[in-house]
Amino acid sequence: MLDVQGLTVKFPSRHGDFTAIEDVSIRVAPGEIHGLVGESGAGKSTIGAAIIGLLQPPGYVAAGTMILGDTDLRKLTPDQAHEMRGDRISMIFQDPQTSLNPLMTIEDQLIETIQAHSDVSTSNARKRAIDLLEEIGIKDAASRIGAYPHQFSGGMRQRVVIALALCTDPELIIADEPTTALDVAVQSQVLALIRRLADTRGIGFILITHDIGVIAQITDNVTVLRGGRVMETGPTAQVLGAPDHPYTRALMAAVPRLDRKLDRFLVPADDAPVVADARGVDAEAWLLDGVQEGGLGLQVRDLTVRFAGTRTSLFRKPEPYVALDDVSLHVRPGSVMGLVGESGSGKSTLAKAISGLISPASGTMQLGDADLPYGKARGRAHPSRRLIQMVFQDPYSSLNARHRIGDILAEPLALYGLEPDKAKRRALAIGMLELVEMDPSVIDRYPHQFSGGQRQRIAVARALLARPRFLICDEPTSALDVSIQAQVLNLLKDLQAKFNLTILFISHNLAVVRQMADDVAVLQSGRLVETKTSEPFFQAPDAEYSQTLLSLTPAMPY
Q: What percent of the chain has pLDDT over 70?
A: 96
For 504, list phi and psi in degrees, rounded to 5. Answer: -100, 110
* Overall average pLDDT of the 240-246 stretch: 92
CA distances from residue 208 to 54, 204, 212, 225, 246 in whole angstroms, order as listed: 16, 13, 11, 11, 21
The dotted CATH code for 278-295+333-359+375-552 is: 3.40.50.300
> Which strand (E) or helix (H) includes residue 408?
helix 405-415
pLDDT of residue 274: 60
pLDDT of residue 518: 96
Residue 258 has pLDDT above 80, yes or no: yes
CA distances from residue 349 to 445, 505, 525 in whole angstroms, order as listed: 33, 14, 11
* Distance, CA of 149 to CA of 241 (rounded, Å): 40
* Distance, CA of 372 to CA of 297 (rounded, Å): 12
Residue at 511: amino acid letter? A
Residue 121 has pLDDT above 90, yes or no: yes
* Distance, CA of 310 to CA of 238 (rounded, Å): 51
DSSP-assigned states of every residue in 211-271? -HHHHHHH-SEEEEEETTEEEEEEEHHHHHHS--SHHHHHHHHTSPPSSS--SS-----SS
* Overall average pLDDT of the 129-156 stretch: 84
Range of lowest pLDDT (65-79, 284-298, 328-342, 380-394) = 284-298
- For 15-35, the pLDDT digits (tens) are 888 999 999 999 999 999 999
Q: Are 191 and 33 in contact (CB under 8 A)?
A: no
- For 484-539, the pLDDT digits (tens) are 888 889 989 999 988 899 999 999 889 899 999 999 999 998 999 999 999 999 99
* Overall average pLDDT of the 239-264 stretch: 87
* Distance, CA of 531 to CA of 397 (rounded, Å): 32
Residue 353 has pLDDT above 60, yes or no: yes
Q: Are 525 and 227 in contact (CB under 8 A)?
A: no
368: left (phi over 0), alpha (psi -120 to 50) or beta: left
Q: Where are the beta strands (DSSP E) in 399-535?
A: 470-474, 502-506, 519-524, 527-533
Range of lowest pLDDT (64-68, 196-200, 393-397, 398-402) = 393-397
Provide the CATH topology of domain 1-88+170-253.
Rossmann fold (3.40.50)
- For 446-495, the pLDDT digits (tens) are 998 887 788 899 999 999 999 999 999 998 887 777 888 888 899 899 99
* Overall average pLDDT of the 64-93 stretch: 90
pLDDT of residue 135: 83
pLDDT of residue 40: 75
Tell me whether domains 1-88+170-253 and 278-295+333-359+375-552 share a fold. Answer: yes
pLDDT of residue 369: 92
Residue 272 has pLDDT above 60, yes or no: no
* Distance, CA of 108 to CA of 450 (rounded, Å): 38
Q: Are 172 and 68 in contact (CB under 8 A)?
A: yes
* Overall average pLDDT of the 219-224 stretch: 96
445 band by pLDDT with thresholds 50, 70 and 90: very high
> Which strand (E) or helix (H) includes residue 329?
strand 321-331
Residue 50 has pLDDT above 80, yes or no: yes
pLDDT of residue 222: 96
Domain range summary for the chain, segments of one domain joined by +:
1-88+170-253, 94-169, 278-295+333-359+375-552
Range of lowest pLDDT (25-39, 68-82, 143-157) = 143-157
124 band by pLDDT with thresholds 50, 70 and 90: very high
Q: Percent helix, strand and coil across the chain, each rounded to 5? A: 40, 25, 35
Q: What is the mean pLDDT of the chain?
A: 88
**Which of the pair, 37 or 15, is modelled with greater confidence?**
37
